[in-house]
Structure 1
Amino acid sequence: MVYPHLFSPLTIRGVTLRNRVDFPAMATKMGADGGYVTDALIDYHVARARGGCGLLTVEATSVHGPTAPRNFMSIADDSYLEGWIRFNEAVHAAGGTTCIQLWQGGFVPPGQDPDTYAVIPSDMPFGPGVVLPGASVETIAEIVQAWGEAAARSVAAGFDVLEFHAGHNYSPEMFLSPGFNRRTDAYGGSAENRMRYPLECIDAIRAAVPDDVPLMMRVSAGDDGVPGGNTVDDVIAFTKVAREHGVDMVNVSRGTPMSVNLQVPTMDHDRGFNVHNAAKFKAGTGLVTVAVGRINDPQQAEDIIASGQADMVVMGRAQIADADFCAKAMAGEEWRIIRCVGCNQGCFDRIASANAATFPHISCLQNPAVGREAEFRVPKTDNPRTILIAGGGIGGMEAAERLHALGHKPILCEASGRLGGQFYMAGLAPRKGEMSDAAMSRASTLEHFGVDVRLHTPVTPAVIDEVAPDEVIIAIGSTPVTLDLEGSEQNTVIDTETVLTGYSRLVGDVVVVGGGLVGLEVAEYLAENDPRVTSVTVVEMGSEVGRDLGMLRKQEVVTHLALNHVSTLVDTRCLRITAAGVVVRRGDEEWTIPATGVVVAVGSRSLDTTELTDHCLARSIPFHIIGDAREPRRAIDAVAEAAEVAISVR
């Protein structure tokens, strides 16, 4: 067998999992208002069950009605049973084993829904002039009872495994943590007293369900970012006691609301960065242990289990990116796996960014079918069409691969000598190598499938006439915007691609004009990798740098800029470039930033598609403009548009 440890069965109490892969609880926004099950949520999990996952865990699900935010899933009363029964019947029919993550959110609910309240151990500031009160003993008793009732309801709904969420600073962990718990009654003070509430919750769950139902507990490996909080050893000590109360498995996560970048780690974190903590819990508790933390490769997962560091692995975003991850790995077809790159653009950013409300549910840069699984279940065609694709960037490759899978005949033409386009180029920036790897993996997949790929072949009207396609997809991308400033024609002024490909000859002091994602990454690249560069200054005319980054990636990039002593200036306009440097203005102040080189990173503009579109119109050939060729945006938009065009071809 390929990966014999990863894909071996595991029996816990009365449940046997077909393999050691856990699809964990992750927010999706796929529930109906009030936390009810939808067909989209069912389809999403069914796809991963069909893809071979061992255990499918539903996202955080409220156990207590008065503290259940309307935008979270819920099982707080019997009105939710019908939906969850439908869910379990569908996932079981697809071969899956189901788990529900039972959740009470501590201080989170009132921030999500003003009609709820917090359940926390002690009074807590919550914004200017607002203090959340500590829970009364009566409220604690009510919540404990709710945990038990929700557990009984979960078993009635057909869930095979239950997960008790005691991490991420939700109510069980808040009571456990001396960083939050300042009570002086039976629920505070000593470690024994601080354990009381979470242990009562476990007891209520265990008493409400049959003995053969496994109980998993999710914990954070210490209170990262919480002054005076629990250490890893403190949480291990609690977990050992929890085992005596009936916990069978421990899911060792990381992060708190004060350190969300550890809870949903970006590409800036090493793959498997939290596995060592799982090994500590396994050794310290003897429980079936689940490792978490950027595990996105089958060999990586196999090695974790084979080495005894954990018994199972969480592969969450890995299976968002590819619902068939397990099936492909089991078949020895790793080359077909579409890899998560840790960008967070479609998952976390669509939950927590400033414009999150504009998105109906999560998605994925690598997999636009997320949340739209039924829509993307398009049968293979019995009317193959020849589709000419102009441009071999991430959008063009997505279109080619999907069209080939649907039985069409894509012909992918790329003007340069390499597929990947700007997506590959982005992977040359610091800590983003997985993006260039993913680009090359997609290129290799097209080669394996035998897709007609033509490099060094820009699409022209003559090429269109030669191919005579049924439709054309124009994905030729964009080109960097040049500076319209006095002095910008000097040979010391270069673009970002010249830097990232290693062809720059910059020395001394460098100014980067433009403080968006690309400008910041190039600034860090120069400061970190080029010993000839002595200083780097980023000049941004807007009020902040990194405006186009997601929250967590921005935290990481800004932190690394500081570590590399990169200076950033905002609300600052470049006026001209001289032999001495860059003349800038902020308000009424004007001065020169010394510079022997200038890098321009002020955005992109779409390449002109008029010649191609006019020719298609003249020949009555349907065409589609996607990605940056339509409007410069993020890679997630290009991939989504490519996929939508591909499934529309009939």
Structure 2
Amino acid sequence: MNYKYLFSSIQVRGLELKNRIIFPAMGTKMATEDKFVTKQLINYQVTRAKGGCGLNFTEVCSVYGKAAPKKFLSISEDKYIPGLKELTEAIHEAGGKAGIQLWLGGLAVGSDQSQMIVIPSPIPVPGTEYTLPGASLETIHEAVEAFGAAAKRAVEAGFDVIEFHAGHNYTPHSFLSPYFNRRTDEYGGELKNRARFLLECIESIREHIPINMPLFMRVDAHDDYLEGGLTIEEVIEFCKMAKEVGVDVLDVSRGNFSSAAIKYEVPPIDLPRGFNVENAARIRRETGMLTVAVGRINDPSQADEILNTNKADMVVMGRAQLADPDFCNKAFEERTEDIVRCVGCNQGCYDGFVSTEMPFITCLRNPALGREEEYQVSMTLNPKKVLIAGGGIAGLEAALQLKKRGHYPVLCEASSSLGGQFALAGEAPRKGEMKEAALAIAEQVIKEGVEIKLNTPITEKLIGELKPDEVFIAIGSTPIELKIPGADLPHVTNSHDVLAGKSRVSGKAVVIGGGLVGLEVAEYIHDNVDSITVIEMLDKVAKDLGELRNICVMESLYAGGVQTVTNARCIEIKKDAIVVERLGNVEEISCDSVVVAIGSKSRSFDSVRIYCEEQGILVHVIGDALKARRALNAVAEANEAVRAIS
């Protein structure tokens, strides 16, 4: 077997896991408003258990009734046991093991203003005269008892494993970190006092579970971006204390939501794969404890190497299994070329979780996430010939799903290659995995036997020759042109041509447009120019980036000395300067090269639409051809359109 370490069993107390892969606790928004398990959440977990995962954890589950926010799971009362038991039984029936993550959320509970925020020390609320109070001794003691009571309920509900969440800025981590904990009583000061609350919680949990039941603990390797916060040396000392009172396994994570370190909690594509593994390795080495590695581990070879080199005993592969719930089975069967890989875009998992517009999380690579029952592939009883115009991510996804359902897709691409703008986006710094994903889905489409015609733009004549039953328009978008004097000068180009290698930029460069594409182009050209200035007409740059990618991109631009000018509208381009109108003033910014990155517009296909209407051919418009947006929308629309075909 190629991945013998990854798929070897492991014994933790009385529990044997069939492999070393863990599906971790991740927020989903799939719980009910009043914190109960739903059928949707069960299907979500069961699909990954059927996919071969060794251990499935619930998302964070509140233990303390006074601090249990809505839309998050809770185990703070007996009434939650039946639903949680239904979840564990379903996971067991699917061949998996079930773990529950016991949680007291601290500042994160502020999402529900009716609930108590349990923190060690007072914190002023920005923009108000109010200060959040530190926890009283009574509250601390109640919380300790709540962890024990929750553990007892978890046993009744049939969980195999308990995980105590002591990281990510939540209440236990806040007590442990000197950045948050300024107490002067027995729960503050030196490390052993700051650890006291956590150790009491662990003891309370251990007292209420069988001796052969494993207890995991999620910890941060150290505090990032928090001056005077936890060091890895302190974390190691604390983990040794935790071992003495009953913790068996350390789940070594990283990050906090009080600073830019939140990027480490759901690490985007900008962070290196396996960026936290060495921290886990050191903690494992110095504590002698079983350890779980976490952080952009999305490839079976990568995971197997981590285990083979004794850097960890297990690995968290969370978003890898969001993107492909059959990840484990495919890796075990050595069908790695069939794995649909997470690309760290964060568009559906993190951005979807914090969005008020999305009812629950989703995934760019897997629109079936959260719709597992609804999206089961059903073979058509009426196979149709479907012409797909466009070989970008939307067209490729449509072709693949049509073929899987038993239809006869014919994909026509106007250029000489597949992948479209998703592959082009992969040319930007740190985004190579997106290009790899675009090429991989193209290979999968070829492997499935889809008929592909390159260098074949869609025309009425082509439709007449192929005689399709239905047509998918997925021809994407084209850069918006700047309609100002000087826009046609020879030193002016656009973002697409720069990323595609068709245009070279040198000297003092100006990028017009401070959205995602403009900023990525600025990074892309950085090493080949003398200076870069990004011009944005809005009041800030990067408004169309998700929160975590925004942090990474802006840090990179700052480190590279890229200048940004906001509230500026470009009104003219000269041979050696651009002219902008800014806050009522007209200014000139000298430059040698200009890159226009002000967005994209859908390509026109009116004649094709009219021809299809005349011929009675149903047309589906998907992706940027409908409206220029994110790849997340393109893939989702492709799947919805395919499902709509009878």
Which TM class, normalised by the smaller chain length? over 0.9
Which residues of 2 match residues 13-162 of structure 1 at below 5 A? Answer: 13-109=13-109, 111-127=110-126, 128-162=128-162
Deviations 1:565-616 (A, max 9, x none): 1111111111111123111111221121111221111111111121221121
Aligned residues of 1:267 and 1:432 also touching (Cα < 8 A): yes
- 2:619 aligns with 623
Please tell me whether the aligned partners of residues 515 and 546 of structure 1 are also in contact (alpha carbons under 8 angstroms).
yes
Counterpart-to-counterpart distance in 1, 2:471 and 2:617: 7
Q: Secondary structure at the match of 2:164?
A: strand
- The residue type equivalent to 2:345 in the other structure is C
The answer to whether structure 1 residue 606 and structure 2 residue 602 are counterparts is: yes
Partner of 1:292: 294
Aligned with 1:551 (options 529, 541, 547): 547
What letter matches 1:279 in structure 2? A
Runs of 4 or more off by more than 6 Å in structure 1? none
CA apart distance, 1:107: 2.3
Partners of 2:107 and 2:593 in 1: how far apart? 50
Where does the alignment leave 5 or more consecutive residues of structure 2 unmatched? none
SS of aligned partner of 2:148: helix
Residue 475 (str. 1) matches residue 474 (str. 2): yes
Shift of 1:130: 2.1
Distance (whole Å) between structure 2 residues aligned to residue 183 and residue 36 of structure 1? 35
Query: Contact 2:489–2:575 at 8 Å: present in 1 too?
Result: no
1:317–1:340 Cα contact (<8 Å) kept: yes
* Displacement of 1:380: 2.2
Match of 1:485 in 2: 484
1:503 offset after TM fit, Å?
A: 2.8
Correspondence for 1:330 among 310, 329, 332: 332
- Cα separation, 2, equivalents of 1:187 and 1:565: 44
Conserved? CA contact 2:479–2:496, under 8 Å: no
Aligned length: 643
- Secondary structure of 1:506's counterpart equals coil
State the 1:381 CA deviation.
2.6
Distance 2:277 2:441 in 1: 28
1:644 maps to which residue?
640
Q: Distance in 2 between matches of 1:611 and 1:213?
A: 67
Question: What pairs up with 1:251-650 in 2 under 5 angstroms?
Answer: 251-257=251-257, 258=259, 259-352=261-354, 356-527=355-526, 529-530=527-528, 533-650=529-646
The amino acid that maps onto 1:456 is N
TM value normalised by structure 2: 0.98
Q: Residue 504 of structure 1: CA displacement? A: 2.1
Deviates more, 1:273-282 or 1:83-92: 83-92
Deviation string 1:74-100 (CA, Å, 9 cap, x unpaired) is 111011112111111211111111111
* 5+ long unaligned stretches in structure 1: none
Deviating more after overlay: 327-336 vs 460-469: 460-469
Identity across the alignment (%) = 52
Deviation digits for residues 369-420 of structure 1, max 9, x if unmatched?
A: 1111111013223432221111000011111111122222211111111111
Partner AA of 1:573 in structure 2: R
Which AA in structure 2 matches 1:131? T
Task: Output the amino acid matched with 1:311.
Answer: D
Aligned-pair RMSD on alpha carbons? Answer: 1.1
Q: Which amino acid aligns with 1:376?
A: Y
Once the 2 structures are TM-superposed, how far is the Cα of residue 628 of structure 1 from its aligned partner?
Answer: 0.6
Q: Which amino acid aligns with 1:540?
A: E
Q: What SS does the corresponding residue of 1:583 show, helix, strand or coil?
A: strand
Contact kept, 8 Å, 1:390 with 1:414, in 2: the verdict is yes
Q: Is the 8 A contact 1:305 1:311 kept in 2?
A: yes
> Structure 1 stretch 465-474 or stretch 35-44: which is displaced more?
465-474
Partner of 2:612, secondary structure, is helix
SS at match of 1:404: helix
TM-score (norm 1): 0.97
What is the SS of the residue equivalent to 1:576? strand
* Helix, strand or coil at the partner of 1:624: strand
User: Residue by residue, what CA displacement relative to the aligned partner does 1:519-541 show, whole Å, maximum 9, x if unpaired?
Assistant: 111112112x31xx211111111
Q: Point out the more displaced range, 370-379 or 179-188.
A: 179-188
Q: Is the 8 A contact 1:14 1:213 kept in 2?
A: yes
